[in-house]
């Protein structure tokens, strides 16, 4: 086991990375001294005594619960304001579902990013953030970690699609896929590639991890990834969002710089929201339906003949994109196999021991409320397809 972030125990890392003095804060291991927060005041917590039922363990559970309450409040405020916006619009004869995509996305996601998330962060300030050093992430490591995301996202996507189909008897549809295909690219770029990742990384990585990392780095990453995945509210996105959130959480944990996880998140969304839909649009819809429905080889050839030479260009673009993604998939699997043992985790100042982690982090009132609310959203997304 390695020592906490504030101590320079990893000689290789110390030699390879330069610490920016202007962007660096020393980790303060003595959390009981009341000087370990970033502007949130003294902690006044019981003495570190990691045993079941101890005052310290109950205190820490309360802190995780506070984060859960903040996330649950975010969800409730978002749903309430979203419903209010849609109902008021309907009163004036404006059906936002029939409006341009930018108006629909502004009405549905605006309350989340502009009001609900900032409110949740204000509530989280009761849990002090742990000051840490910030480290640069070299381009080689950045792209290696980004490529590792490909097989993780692919596997999570397959699991989500299969489970959604099984539980809904094949009636569930991915609303996010429909939205990206039907929206104009500029709107998708602004909302899903720029604004969404910026706000989501701010709350799920910076705010949550910075406040929970003192109790275990791996635990903070997993709580952050779970909260991030649950917010998506559907099985289609849950599993790959959890996998992606875990990688992004690790990146933030090791650098304490939001720019890296934010950039990765934006690149992933750019591929899924801009590049992939553009590639699909290059194929004639009827030919795409024939390919997806498993029509006979002869029927597909007849359709290609009807469309002329232009159809081959679209198929060529799809083939090139598919081969590129396949190469990244294989490269990501290789990198995961080779580099997984090189992942760095350090002992936190107040590390929760095995046996206390899940019960303390998740089995508390705040987190349970948030998880239940999100599970209701996921259930609704499956049931509505059956109606």
DSSP string computed for 201-219: HIIIIIIHHHHHGGG-HHH
Q: How far apart are CA 267 and CA 264, in angstroms?
A: 5
Per the DSSP assignment, residues forming a β-bridge with 2 are 346
Q: How far apart are CA 86 and CA 107, in angstroms?
A: 7
Query: Encoding tokens for residue 310?
Result: 């232009």
Token pair 């409110």: residue: 119
Element (H, E) at 41: none
Model confidence, pTM: 0.84
Q: How far apart are CA 248 and CA 253, in angstroms?
A: 9
Q: How far apart are CA 133 and CA 92, in angstroms?
A: 53
Q: What is the dihedral of CA 236, 237, 238, 244, to 10 degrees?
A: 140
Helix 297-307 vs helix 310-339: angle between axes, to the nearest 10 degrees? 120
Q: How far apart are CA 124 and CA 63, in angstroms?
A: 9
- Which pLDDT tens digits describe the chain residue by residue (387 residues)? 444 444 333 433 444 443 333 333 334 344 443 334 444 444 577 898 888 999 999 999 999 999 999 999 999 999 999 999 988 888 888 887 778 888 888 889 999 999 999 999 999 999 999 988 899 999 999 999 999 999 999 999 999 999 999 988 888 888 888 888 888 899 999 999 999 999 999 999 999 999 999 999 999 999 999 999 999 999 999 999 999 999 999 999 999 999 999 999 999 999 999 999 999 888 766 666 655 555 555 565 566 666 555 566 777 888 899 999 999 999 999 999 998 888 999 999 899 999 999 999 999 999 999 999 999 999 988 887 666
Radius of gyration of the chain, Cα coordinates, nearest whole angstrom? 23
* Three-state secondary structure call for residue 61: helix
Q: Where in the chain are the domains?
A: 35-139+150-275+355-383, 282-348
């Amino acid at each position: 086991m390695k020592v906490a972030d504030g101590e320079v125990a990893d000689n290789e890392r110390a030699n390879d990375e330069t610490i920016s003095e202007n962007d660096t804060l020393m980790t303060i291991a003595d959390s009981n001294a009341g000087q370990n927060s970033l502007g949130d005041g003294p902690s006044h917590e019981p003495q570190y005594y990691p045993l079941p039922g101890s005052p310290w363990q109950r205190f820490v559970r309360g802190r995780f619960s506070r984060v859960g309450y903040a996330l649950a409040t975010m969800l409730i405020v978002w749903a309430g304001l979203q419903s209010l916006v849609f109902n008021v619009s309907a009163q004036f004869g404006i059906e936002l579902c029939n409006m341009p995509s930018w108006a629909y996305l502004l009405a549905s996601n605006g309350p989340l990013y502009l009001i609900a998330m900032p409110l949740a962060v204000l509530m989280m300030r009761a849990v002090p953030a742990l000051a840490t050093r910030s480290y640069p992430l070299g381009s080689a490591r950045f792209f290696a970690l980004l490529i590792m995301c490909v097989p993780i996202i692919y596997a999570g996507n397959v699991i989500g699609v299969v489970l959604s189909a099984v539980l809904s008897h094949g009636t569930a549809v991915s609303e996010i896929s429909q939205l990206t295909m039907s929206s104009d690219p500029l709107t998708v770029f602004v909302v899903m590639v720029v604004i969404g990742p910026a706000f989501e990384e701010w709350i799920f990585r910076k705010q949550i991890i910075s406040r929970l990392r003192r109790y275990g780095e791996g635990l903070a990453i997993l709580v952050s990834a779970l909260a991030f995945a649950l917010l998506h509210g559907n099985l289609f996105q849950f599993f790959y969002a959890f996998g992606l959130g875990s990688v992004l959480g690790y990146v933030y944990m090791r650098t304490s710089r939001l720019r890296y996880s934010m950039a990765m998140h934006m690149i992933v969304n750019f591929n899924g929201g801009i590049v992939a839909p553009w590639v699909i649009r290059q194929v004639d819809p009827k030919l795409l339906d024939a390919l997806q429905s498993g029509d006979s080889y002869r029927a597909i050839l007849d359709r290609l003949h009807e469309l002329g030479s232009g159809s081959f260009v679209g198929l060529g673009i799809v083939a090139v994109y598919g081969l590129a993604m396949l190469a990244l998939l294989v490269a990501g699997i290789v990198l995961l196999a080779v580099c997984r043992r090189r992942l760095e985790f350090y002992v936190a100042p107040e590390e929760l021991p095995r046996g206390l982690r899940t019960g303390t982090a998740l089995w508390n009132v705040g987190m349970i409320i948030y998880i239940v609310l999100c599970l209701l959203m996921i259930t609704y997304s499956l049931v509505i397809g059956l109606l």
